[in-house]
Amino acid sequence: MRFGTFLFPECSDPREDGAVIDDALAEARLCDRLGMDAVWLAEHHFDGNCAYVDPLAFAAALAVATERVAIGFAVIQTSLYHPIRLAEQLSLLDHLSKGRLILGLGRGTFFNIYEYQGYGIDADEAQARYEEAVHIIRKAWTEMAFEHHGRFWSLRVPALRPRPYTRPHPEIWWATSSEHSIGEHARHGRPVLLNAQTNDTTRRRVALYRQGMREAGFGEDAIAANVAKIWVWRSAYVGATGARAEAVGRPAFEAMIEHRKKMRDQVEREQGVKLSPHLAPGLNGFLCGAPDTVATELAELAELGIGGALIQFRLGALPYEAAAESIERFMREVAPRVRGAA
């Protein structure tokens, strides 16, 4: 089983954004040095919940600041981008990282309407924009001169440069937030990213994914290979003891969840509008305890055959030093145990 740190650094004070961004870069370097498999990037705007904001620009910094760790996106809010510009940026990142990208794409947030408002995008169009953009990006990566005439974009492209480093192009992982979307992606044989949830929910959704692929005619080898590409999101604090983890990690995690709701609730009070806050990451998927406790929880995921866990270690306003201590304990005492059992 593979493990990745999920860089999702909160900053409630705009004056401290630069310091928190520096911390995120230091965390990526630490994880690269400790032998973690991936560094994952989020994307959220305007609220301080993801201090570096732009995962593409930050990924470029990571591509030159790290040596071996994969760089994942969980996920790029595709509906906010011009698809040709995004195809160019990702192709460049593919070269800078020498093929280390794990390309997670999603339509955009299901719960923060202000992110669409800030970009002048109708949230009701997000899914359609996403689907059309993915079609254009794939076409740009695999064809030379082409034209596209769709609902949102009418394009005449001479040829995309640079061409992707990975041939024919980086593989796409698809974000899922419901059992319906799990089934849809399974029927198309698409690799997926699972959001924060309990182990029981993950177990049920992996079973649905296997069932969907099977019903679509995929063989058992192909199903197992795709399940092995699944990454699932967890948050974690690994303490020397369970009591220490509860005292430090639990309050930081709960405060982080509250902070993520702050601007969403403000917009609802001021404008009377909201999207689907029930789809926002809540208190599920938090691993908190001594190394044995966290290893046991992750071993349950490994038994499902899934490929990896992307784990947020810096919980909200938790100091970098505390997150680094948790990461080092995880890599020293948790990861070897889970990998050895798998």
Of all residues in the chain, the percent with pLDDT exceeding 90 is 96
- pLDDT tens digits for range 117-147: 999 999 999 999 999 999 999 999 999 999 9
> What are φ and ψ of residue 172, in 5° steps?
-105, 130
* Residue 278 scores a pLDDT above 80: no
Task: Decide: helix, strand or coil at residue 36.
Answer: coil
Is a pLDDT exceeding 60 seen at residue 114? yes
Average pLDDT, rounded, for the chain = 96
The residue type of 37 is D
pLDDT digits (tens, 9 = 90+) for 218-258: 999 999 999 999 999 999 999 999 999 999 999 999 999 99
Question: pLDDT tens-digit profile of 13-40?
Answer: 999 999 999 999 999 999 999 999 999 9
Supply the pLDDT for residue 178.
Answer: 87
pLDDT-derived band at 280 (thresholds 50, 70, 90) equals confident
**Cα 258 vs. chain centroid, distance in angstroms?**
20
Residue 299's pLDDT band (cuts 50, 70, 90)? very high
Asked whether the beta carbons of 110 and 178 are under 8 A apart, the reply is no
User: Which single residue is written with the structure tokens 């509860």?
Assistant: 246
φ, ψ for residue 200, nearest 5 deg: -65, -40
Burial (Cβ within 10 Å: 0-12, 13-18, ≥19) of residue 120: exposed
pLDDT at 304: 96
Q: What is the pLDDT of residue 121?
A: 97
Rounded Cα distance, 130 and 136, in Å: 10
How far is residue 62's CA from residue 216's CA, in Å, rounded to a whole number?
A: 38
pLDDT at 197: 93
Q: How far apart are CA 5 and CA 213, in angstroms?
A: 29
Closest CA to 140 of 163, 106, 172, 121: 163
Nearest-5° Cα angle at 136, 109 to 47: 20
- Exposure string (b/e) for 201-211, b if CB count within 10 Å is 16 or more? bbbebbeebbe
**Is the pLDDT assigned to residue 277 strictly greater than 80?**
no
Contact 229/173 with Cβ under 8 angstroms? yes
Kindly give, in sequence order, each residue whose CB lies less than 8 Å from that of residue 8, ignoring residues fewer than 6 positions away. Answer: 42, 49, 50, 312, 314
What stretches of the chain show up as alpha helix (H) in DSSP? Answer: 17-34, 55-65, 83-96, 113-119, 126-142, 179-187, 199-215, 220-227, 242-271, 291-303, 320-329, 335-341
User: Rounded to whole angstroms, how far apart are CA atoms 257 and 280?
Assistant: 9
Put simply, whether the predicted model's pTM sits higher than 0.95 gets the answer: yes
Q: 320: which DSSP letter?
A: H
Tokens of 156: 């005449």
Give the end-to-end CA distance of the chain in Å, rounded to a whole number. Answer: 7
pLDDT digits (tens, 9 = 90+) for 70-96: 999 999 999 999 999 999 999 999 999
pLDDT confidence of residue 342: 55
Alpha-carbon distances, residue 258 vs 37, 64, 113, 252, 341 (angstroms): 30, 34, 17, 10, 36
In this model, does residue 281 exceed pLDDT 80? no
- Give the pLDDT confidence score for residue 226 in this predicted structure: 98
CATH number of the CATH domain containing 327: 3.20.20.30
Domain that holds residue 240: 2-341
Residue 39 main-chain phi, psi, to 5 deg: -120, 125
Report the pLDDT value the prediction gives residue 129, as an integer from 0 to 100. 98
Helix 83-96 crosses helix 126-142 at what angle (to 10 degrees)?
Answer: 50
Tell me what percent of the residues of the chain surpass a pLDDT of 70. 99
Q: How far is CA 264 from the centre of its chain?
A: 20
The tally of domains found in the chain comes to: 1
The structure tokens listed for 224 are 């197992």
Q: Which of 90, 98, 8, 83 is nearest to 44 (CA)?
A: 8
- Position 279 scores a pLDDT of 75
Crossing angle (nearest 10°) for helices 291-303 and 199-215: 10
Segment 197-213 shows an average pLDDT of 97
**Which residue's structure tokens are 């030159």?**
64
What tens digit of pLDDT does each residue of 54-75 get? 999 999 999 999 999 999 999 9
